[in-house]
Amino acid sequence: MDIYLPIAELSTNLFVLLGLGLAVGFLSGMFGVGGGFLMTPLLIFIGIPAVVAVGTGTNLIVASSISGMIAHWRRGNVDFRMGSLLFCGGIVGSWLGVELFKELREAGQIELVISLFYVIFLLVVGILMGLESTRALFYQSRQIQRKANYHTWIHGLPIKLRFRQSKLYVSAIPPVVIGFTMGLLASFMGVGGGFIMVPVLIYLIGMPTAVVIGTSLLSILVISAMSSVAHAISNQNVDIILTLILAVGAVIGAQYGTRFGLRLKAVQLRGLLALMVLTVAGRLIFGLLNRPSELFSITVLESSI
């Protein structure tokens, strides 16, 4: 059964979309990640215009992060001070990202930039995770313990604030900068970026693992909301029908993914995820390096009616 997507302006099979939502939801539930980094490239692979895939992706992240954020909030695992610093930077970043996105779109280079961003992002994440999981396979017994007085150069920066929830006394600059970068990534790639933010918050700032997920979900929620609104206003590329179909699939898929994920070991999970991330990256690299069958493309200027 075909369904016409009003913003993407094409007909797609409804069951393909539902299946895609289910699959990405399942994987994100299984691995405990947002799934935006898989959803956007897969949407592009099935023929949704890259611009619409990204805009709709940001909107979809809102749906997928809200429930997790509420759950963590109930358990008191959200550091609101840290979260608000992150999303203040993020709001500026995502707004700037959307404006840049618009410029690149008009110059006809946005597809290339999205692909490049994804290739770099997926390669880095995939390789790091792959290395970590293979290392963990060999040295399973050795546990890396965080020292009580964990200090890096980050802790020497000025404008220090006290974060009671995170039991930290650090500068406000790194969270704002991290948020800003996440905002840019969100607008360019249609991802939440929890993937990058969580390790950065743990290793660079030294946040306790208990609050890091809830806090990053809060900032992801606000950043993706901002990015979605900005995309819908500047680029008109948020397809609510597409969001609804994918979100329904993703919500259901995530439930089963979580249950399935509990049966696997963390190391195996990380290895699998790394493999998947690298496969998507490989497909994108192939697309960039392979000579396209048609070198020419047409853009219709809507203004000249």
Partner 1 sequence: MFAVMIIINLRWLKRFWLTGLVGMFCVCLMSVDSKFVFALNEPLHIDISSKQIEIDSTFSGTSILLFGAKDRPGDIIVIFRGPNKEMIMRRKERKFGIWVNHEAINFKNVPQFYALAASKKPELLLENKELLKYEVGLNNLAFDAAREIKDKNFKEFKTALLRVQTAQDLFSSNLGQVNFIDDNLFRVTIDIPNNIPTGNYLIDTLLISNGELISKKITPLEVKKSGFSDQIWNFANFNSEIYAFIALFLSLIVGWLGSLAFRKL
- For partner 1, give the closer residue by CB, 9 or 266: 9
The pattern of x and - marking residues 216 through 235 that bind partner 1 according to CB under 8 A reads ---------x--xxxxxxx-
- For partner 1, give the closer residue by CB, 46 or 161: 46
Determine the Cα–Cα distance for residues 83 and 211; give it in Å rounded to an integer: 10
> Please, are residues 45 and 4 in contact by the beta-carbon 8 Å criterion?
no
| 156 burial via Cβ count (<10 Å: 0-12, 13-18, 19+) | exposed
The pattern of x and - marking residues 246 through 285 that bind partner 1 according to CB under 8 A reads -xx--xx--x------------------------------
Contact call for residue 13 and partner 1 (CB under 8 A): no
> Please, are residues 236 and 100 in contact by the beta-carbon 8 Å criterion?
no
Q: What is the dihedral of CA 136, 207, 65, 38, to 10 degrees?
A: -40
Contact call for residue 46 and partner 1 (CB under 8 A): no
Q: What angle do CA 145, 213, 175 make, to 5 degrees?
A: 85
Stretch that binds partner 1, among 7-15, 41-49, 169-177, 264-272 (CB under 8 A): 7-15
C-alpha atoms less than 13 angstroms from C-alpha of 44 in its C-beta half-sphere: 24
Contact call for residue 288 and partner 1 (CB under 8 A): yes
Q: For helices 173-189 and 110-138, what crossing angle results, to 10°?
A: 120
Question: CB 172 → partner 1: shortest distance, Å?
Answer: 27
Q: Is 49 helix (H, G, I), strand (E, B) or coil?
A: coil
Residue 83, CA distances (Å) to 86, 91, 212, 230 in order? 5, 12, 10, 20
Question: CB 139 → partner 1: shortest distance, Å?
Answer: 37
Determine the Cα–Cα distance for residues 175 and 270; give it in Å rounded to an integer: 26
Contact call for residue 168 and partner 1 (CB under 8 A): no
Contact call for residue 189 and partner 1 (CB under 8 A): no
How many residues belong to the site for partner 1 (CB under 8 A)? 59
- For partner 1, give the closer residue by CB, 186 or 230: 230
Q: What angle do CA 256, 258, 260 make, to 5 degrees?
A: 70
Determine the Cα–Cα distance for residues 303 and 305; give it in Å rounded to an integer: 6
- For partner 1, give the closer residue by CB, 112 or 137: 112
Contact call for residue 104 and partner 1 (CB under 8 A): no
The pattern of x and - marking residues 56 through 95 that bind partner 1 according to CB under 8 A reads ---xx-xxxxxxx-xx------------------------
- For partner 1, give the closer residue by CB, 165 or 228: 228
Contact call for residue 141 and partner 1 (CB under 8 A): no
C-alpha 279: how far from chain center? 17
- For partner 1, give the closer residue by CB, 65 or 133: 65
Q: Which residues bind partner 1 (CB under 8 A)?
A: 2-7, 9-11, 59-60, 62-68, 70-71, 108-109, 112, 225, 228-234, 236, 238, 240-241, 243-244, 247-248, 251-252, 255, 288-292, 294-305
